[in-house]
Amino acid sequence: MQKQWIKHYPKSVPQNININEYQNILEVSDEAIRKYRNKVAFSNFDVDLTYHELDILSGQMASYFQNTLGLKKGDRIAIQMPNVLQYPIALFAAFRAGLIVVNTNPLYTATEMRHQFKDSGVKAVVILANYASLLETVIKDTEIEHVVVTQIGDQLPLIKKHLINFVLKKIKKMVPDYSLKHHTWSEALRFGAQKTYVQPKLSHDDIAFLQYTGGTTGVSKGAVLTHRNIIANMQQIAAWMQPKLVSGEEIAITPLPMYHIFSLTVCSLALMRYGTQNVLITNPRDIPAFIKTMKKYKFTVMTGVNTLFNALANNPAIKEVDFSHTKVCVAGAMALQKAVKDNWKKATGTDVIEGYGLTETSPVATCNPIDGTDRVGTIGLPLPETDIKLIDEDGNEVTKIGEPGELCVKGPQVMQGYYNRPDETAKVLKDGWLYTGDIATADDDGFFKIVDRKKDMILVSGFNVYPNEVEDVIAKHPKVLEVAAIGVQDAHSGEVVKVVVVKKEESLTEKEVIDFARQSLTNYKVPKHVEFRAELPKTNVGKVLRRALRDSSAQK
């Protein structure tokens, strides 16, 4: 298939980047610190951290890692916390000390923590106190030698710090007791301030992250992402944002946790090139508090996932938020439903554009143009220096417009492989191409559309049904808040479609859902079963876990 997308590339976005402009991530952040020294880099709980303060504090923490803990270049360090000011300090400190970062979901179970820490060979952990008791149960099974424990309020002014930490521990009982040998966050900074760190030489080929996949398809695997991979994606994202963003003027609302690859690369790293202020949302599930924070800032950028935009758009208080300065809202990590996009536009007056990526692509591979030429329902065009092809079930490249095939990505942002898993790597990396497992089509203009994951495809009497298509239709029903489609076994047709629905209005019935679907879907795509639930199972960043729905349905 010819590269149809070239003729529709945004005029102000270069098709190429200079990958040799920076040798490591720190060169990018140090440039931002020099240019935007006194501007705010991160905000949380109404407290600001300037680029200059980030430089000082990350330097102190890097000194602690080197001089107190004795960590060496290439050692692994896990960071396990939500969006608080301590996260970027620990992240850049790790880079300054030449360490490899292993981002860890704070909501992991003990089993998941044990697997990730053992698999990656982590030597040190910076962890929120809320989860230290779980770490205590698994640490003996790992190579962890050092633990730094921080509390939510540790980077806040003294009175606010002690108040928040006291309330969370003593009133809300959110910090279980633990007896781990550890240093506190304050101790680590104090020890680090007594000496200086020596930044080791870092090159393109040095590993920056072992970034673990979500684990929704089995055992979680660590994607090896080098400084070159991350720098490339930072440059690609910054170039894509060029039509609208202005250096030194941007404020981003950052609700997705920075340990997640989407928020990590886009918000905490790529937007640094614009001197952006990131407003960190610690608990995006608390929608009233989230909206209260949004009302305080004249933000220009917002990132999120479909379920988050949906929840915000359906909260009446969103009308009180000022969106007059907003330049771009970007949805990633899962498909953006047209109904959600339309509701967001109606509620806020702003558009959401959809992008696409994976942990394995650092993560962004494609995105809709932000200049107003986006195509609803597509994942847009490949980023600069990125190539896309579609492969059919026989391993041949798709040549017909509209024909589905497995989406394959080639570019400087593609991972090196899965850590210590050459067999798994060989399944997805072939001749420099990453085989994503996602089924896509391309239109006449080269805009790509994901029609679904291979594993999620429903086979009804030999016909393929893509859950996204079913979900997109039913999500338009005015009484539907959320919906997920799965396949369930059927004696007659092998599988049939089942939808699990969260109601917006209690009066919604199974018959209404099916009749509504029948208006837009051919018969074999129409759900044969409807289940109503109070909520859908999701990952911590809001991706619906279809596997969990399939498993629970199979047990009934």
DSSP 504-544: SSTT--HHHHHHHHHTTS-GGGS-SEEEE-S---B-TTS-B
Q: Please give the Cα distance from 105 to 458 (Å, whole number).
A: 30
Parse the chain into domains and list their residue ranges. 4-12+229-416+437-453, 46-202, 458-554
Contact yes or no for 351/374 (Cβ under 8 A): yes
Helix (H, G, I), strand (E, B) or coil at 140: helix
Residues making up the chain, counted from first to last: 556
Residue range 29-50, pLDDT digits in tens: 999 999 999 999 999 999 999 9
CB atoms within 10 A of CB 374: 19
- The answer to whether 347 and 326 are in contact (CB under 8 A) is no
Task: Name the CATH topology of 4-12+229-416+437-453.
Answer: Rossmann fold (3.40.50)
Q: pLDDT value at position 215?
A: 44
DSSP state letters, 298-360: ---EEEE-HHHHHHHHTSGGGGGS--TT--EEEE-SSPPPHHHHHHHHHHHS--EEEEEE-GG
Distance, in Å, from the CA atom of 249 to the CA atom of 244, rounded to the nearest integer, reads: 11
Residue 165's SS3 state is helix
| pTM score | 0.88
Predicted local distance difference test score (pLDDT) of residue 372: 79
Q: What does the pLDDT read at residue 336?
A: 86
| 356 neighbors 306 (Cβ within 8 angstroms) | no
The contacts of residue 423 (CB under 8 Å, 6+ apart) are none
The answer to whether residues 439 and 466 touch, using CB atoms and an 8 Å cutoff, is: yes
Indicate the pairing of strand 458-460 with strand 463-465: antiparallel
Pairing relationship of beta strands 146-150 and 183-184 according to DSSP bridges: parallel
The answer to whether the CB of 365 falls within 8 A of the CB of 411 is yes
Class of domain 458-554: alpha beta
The pairing of strands 301-304 and 328-331 is parallel
The pLDDT score that the predictor gives to residue 276 is: 97
Q: In the beta sheet, which residues pair with residue 409? A: 388, 434
Structure tokens at 477: 């029903």
Give me the pLDDT at residue 2, please: 53
d(CA 18, CA 14): 10
- Whose tokens are 């099916």? That residue is 514
The segments of the chain whose pLDDT lies below 70 read: 1-2, 4-6, 214-219, 556
Please indicate whether the domains covering 46-202 and 458-554 agree at the CATH topology level: no
Instruction: Report pLDDT digits (tens) over 412-436.
Output: 999 999 999 999 999 999 999 999 9
Q: At what angle do helices 86-96 and 25-35 cross, to 10 degrees?
A: 120
CB–CB of 207/224 below 8 Å?
yes
Q: Please tell me the distance from the alpha carbon of residue 468 to that of residue 474, in angstroms, as a whole number.
A: 10
Residue 60 pLDDT: 98
Residue 477's closest CA among 449, 510, 432, 444?
Answer: 510
Strands 429-430 vs 433-442: parallel, antiparallel or unpaired: antiparallel
Give the Cα separation of 174 and 168 in Å (integer): 5
Residue found by looking up tokens 């896990």 in the block = 78
**Closest to 225 measured CA to CA, from 333, 119, 360, 23:** 360
Count Cα atoms within 13 angstroms, Cβ side, for 304.
25
For domain 46-202, the CATH architecture is 3-Layer(aba) Sandwich (3.40)
Distance (Å, whole) CA 66 – CA 199: 10
For tokens 């080791």, the residue is 200
Strands 251-254 and 277-280: parallel
CA dist., res. 95 & res. 102, Å (int) = 12
**Which residues, other chains included, contact 392 with Cβ-Cβ below 8 Å and sequence gap of 6+?**
398, 403, 405, 406
**Percent of the chain clearing pLDDT 70 (strictly above):** 97
Start-to-end CA span in the chain (Å): 45
The identity of residue 432, as a single letter, is: G
Q: Going by C-beta distance under 8 Å and a sequence separation of 6 or more, which residues neighbour residue 147? A: 124, 125, 127, 132, 135, 139, 180, 181, 182, 183
In 10 A of CB 41, how many CB atoms? 27
pLDDT in tens, 369-380: 998 788 888 999
